[in-house]
Amino acid sequence: MQQSDTVTKAASAFEARWTMLALKRVNPDLHDALREQCDLYCQAIMHGAPSDVERQSEGLVRGYAAAVAAMEQHRAPDDAYLIGRHNGLVVFITDQKAVNERVTDVAETGERAILMSPDEVAMLFSSIEGLGAIAAIKQLFPGAELIERYPDEPAKGD
């Protein structure tokens, strides 16, 4: 396996579940060390000899492994994505591609699962006829939640 593949695999193990901000809350020193190691790795790729790249990639792989271990030991909840469930569909919303592995894990349990970026959600919401009223209500009443939607039924009083 090439150095970059090894680094990508190690980074994905962390990024599929957590953000760097979550790591900073759990272990600020490890967060800072991992950030520094990422910088060293990038510098080695841009300006270093192959031996520098190899050394820094090995350090980065160890750093990501330490981050995963720290987050698991702390039992830190996944924060790399938002998840919603409705009518048998599980929707992961994130901008981190590494979350695809989590989506695949859920899909393997037999549930229907998809990953969407925040921009895709916004595009769909703004393009689906009938959702304009929901958007208007949520703008007028910040914090309002959509519990159920009955588009073919008249409004009901409490």
| pTM, rounded to two decimals | 0.73
- Own/partner pairs for 58-63, CB < 8 Å, 24+ apart? 60/7, 60/10, 60/11, 61/6, 61/7, 61/10, 63/30, 63/33, 63/34, 63/37, 63/38
Could you report the per-residue pLDDT of 42-75, keeping only the tens digit for each? 999 999 999 999 999 999 999 999 999 999 999 9
Would you list the domain boundaries of the chain? 3-73, 82-140
In this prediction, residues 75-102 reach a mean pLDDT of 90
CA 134 to mean position of chain CA atoms: 26
